[in-house]
Amino acid sequence: MKLNLNRLNYFKKEYLVILLGLIISIFTSINHLSKYDKIYEPIEGPKYHQMIKNDVYTVWTTADEIRKDLNNGNDFFQSLPEFKREFLPSVIVGLYYHILDKEIFDLTNGEKNIKENNLKLGILLIQTILYFLSVYFLFYTIQNNFIKKKEYEVPLFIIILFLSLEPTINQFNSSFTSESFFMSMIIILFSLLLKKNNNYIIFVFSGILVGLIFAQRPVSIFFFIPVSIFYLIVYKNKLQNLLLFLLGFSIIIGSIGTINYKKSNHFYIISMLHQYYSYYFYFAHVIYAEKYNLEESDAKIILNKKEQEWRNINNIKIDDINVPIENYDRKDLKKIINYRNIEFINLVISNPIISAKIFIKKSLVGVLFAPNLIKNSYYFDKTSPEAKNNRKEYYNKNLKFYLAYSTIFYFFIITGLIIYFKRIYLNKKLTLFDKFLFFNICSVIYFVLMSGFWGNPKYFLPCILNLSFFFSDGLSFFIKKYIFK
């Protein structure tokens, strides 16, 4: 077999970048486990695992239930959990430890904690390898569908460089949060959307993948809408392609609803827990406090008192402080959820300027690149005096650094967006890649609208993947204009 040296040289730099990113992620995972795979004792309260806490701890608790069900002889589908918080992350961890036949928790002196040194590295290696395989898949798709055919000039090397080495992205491959698998699935979806064929299986699989993206991160429940818009624009005369995509999506959504029904005797997609602790719970008192110039804690007391009066009038008795809400009557829960949703909508509508100001302020923090977010979280202790006395300053120590770091990237991203709109205006038409870039804009808008109020850079992560294409266009423009002119 004759070796094509020109072909080898052409691809070499992308391969090396992907390999370098993989090696960095693996060594970072090993380093983090050596330092943080341990039980931490806070100033107050019970001990917890330094890497696996808060929502991640809940995921691992559900994973342990799955592992025990499988060990007791239940088949895989019987062991699947009710979708309360995050579905797929628990399945992945539970199945992993079942295969290894390893315990997840350690019970010592009456305390239940995550076991130390129980082959956690394997999970990080699996998600890291999957992530960089997805990056390679994207590289291969763009290379073969656009660059080889000389249909579109894509700065592919910069895209691969960004996705492989940018630390805001890469840090999640060494973390037990749900983001790494989430990113991998989104990047694979990019590749499927860019494939130029009419293979019906691709459209069905794309829908299944978007369903799994929801199963990985519930915030993606309506993510099928930007994808559907893309398919309508690209295949406007072939409605069956969109229907096949929605069929694939419905398979996963329907399966989750069926599992929930078997576990709870209720068919639902979004858990009561997510609906109960939604925008009203986290942000209604913030808007109310701003409106009446109150402390947020005082505003929360007023709104809680108002809700309690409504509960008393409607004979709804739920002790959601001492008892998990999923143990209560679902009809009562639905009434409370409807009450909260209506109250929040009315509060936003009656205070549009205040609501918009809070949303924009939070979103501006949320859209920052935060390259050391995960590592910093390992040191957070919410029981410390510093955290109690000045919560905002405690959790935002790196805000100025994030702002400076982000400014560099946004300079090129905005340049790329200007180039994109200028190209569309001059060409008077949209290529497939232009339509794909429009999908990325829709995707950014979607995730910002869904997560902007939280102001957490972690929730902006899928948008960083979307913006990588505009960043590469902007950086490529300046390289050609000022370096290789």
Per-residue pLDDT tens over the stretch 116-164: 999 999 999 999 999 999 999 999 999 988 877 666 678 899 999 999 9
pLDDT confidence bin for 266, thresholds 50/70/90:
confident
pLDDT at 5: 39
Q: Where is pLDDT greater, at 225 or 41?
A: 225
d(CA 66, CA 98): 8
Is 112 a residue whose pLDDT tops 80?
yes
Is 3 a residue whose pLDDT tops 70?
no
pLDDT confidence bin for 178, thresholds 50/70/90:
very high
Q: Identify which of 196, 166, 195, 197 has the alpha carbon closest to the alpha carbon of residue 183.
A: 166
pLDDT at 321: 61
pLDDT at 42: 87
Is 82 a residue whose pLDDT tops 60?
yes
pLDDT at 385: 82
Contact by Cβ (8 Å): 372, 398: yes
pLDDT at 448: 95
Q: Identify which of 470, 472, 469, 459 has the alpha carbon closest to the alpha carbon of residue 370.
A: 459
d(CA 104, CA 405): 38
pLDDT at 320: 64
Tokens of 318: 């739920």
Q: What is the DSSP string of 452-466?
A: GGG--GGGGHHHHHH
pLDDT confidence bin for 485, thresholds 50/70/90:
low
Q: Identify which of 401, 422, 404, 402 has the alpha carbon closest to the alpha carbon of residue 474.
A: 422
**Which of 84-93, 145-154, 405-414 has the lowest average pLDDT?**
145-154
Region 171-184 average pLDDT: 96
- Residues near 437 by Cβ (< 8 Å), separated by ≥ 6? 420, 469, 470
pLDDT at 324: 66
**Which of 167-171, 174-178, 299-303, 322-326 has the lowest average pLDDT?**
322-326
- Residues near 287 by Cβ (< 8 Å), separated by ≥ 6? 347, 348, 351, 354, 355, 358
Percent of the chain with pLDDT over 90: 67
pLDDT at 84: 81
Is 7 a residue whose pLDDT tops 60?
no
pLDDT confidence bin for 1, thresholds 50/70/90:
very low
Q: Where are the alpha helices (H) located in 327-460, listed in sequence order? A: 330-350, 352-366, 373-377, 385-389, 391-395, 399-427, 432-451
pLDDT at 9: 47
pLDDT at 46: 86
pLDDT in tens, 14-54: 999 999 999 999 999 999 999 999 999 888 888 899 999 98
Mean pLDDT of the chain: 90
d(CA 184, CA 173): 10
Is 315 a residue whose pLDDT tops 80?
yes
Region 93-102 average pLDDT: 95
d(CA 336, CA 50): 35
Q: Which pairs from 6-15 meet CB under 8 Å and 24+ separation?
A: 11/143, 13/157, 14/139, 14/156, 14/157, 14/160
pLDDT in tens, 323-372: 566 667 778 888 889 999 999 999 999 999 999 999 999 999 999 999 99
Q: Identify which of 100, 156, 152 has the alpha carbon closest to the alpha carbon of residue 126.
A: 100
pLDDT at 386: 82
Amino acid, res. 189: L
Burial class (CB in 10 A: 0-12, 13-18, 19+), 171: buried
Q: Which helix (H) or strand (E) holds 106?
A: strand 105-108
